[in-house]
Amino acid sequence: MSDLLIVHFSHRPDQASQRMVRMNAQRESVLSLVDSSQAETIVAEINGEIAEVGHSLRCRMSESE
């Protein structure tokens, strides 16, 4: 699952592994600021990849003001 952080959030492999551990153990989140059209694509891709492996992670967009 750390591949998601590498591919979609430009983490280095060592950072991605450490971050994934914190995400699972401490319920830590990842935040990315992109325009809404790009965010919709990223969220769809990530959720598709998560569904394929049956992982419990979830990706969502925050509502804009």
Q: How confident is the model at residue 65 (pLDDT cuts 50, 70, 90)?
A: low
Q: What percent of the chain lies above the pLDDT cut of 90?
A: 29
Mean pLDDT to the nearest integer, 21-36? 85
Mean pLDDT to the nearest integer, 13-41? 87
- Three-state secondary-structure class, residue 58: coil
Q: Is the dihedral of CA 50, 51, 54, 59 positive or negative?
A: positive
Above 90 in pLDDT, residue 13?
yes
Q: How confident is the model at residue 58 (pLDDT cuts 50, 70, 90)?
A: confident
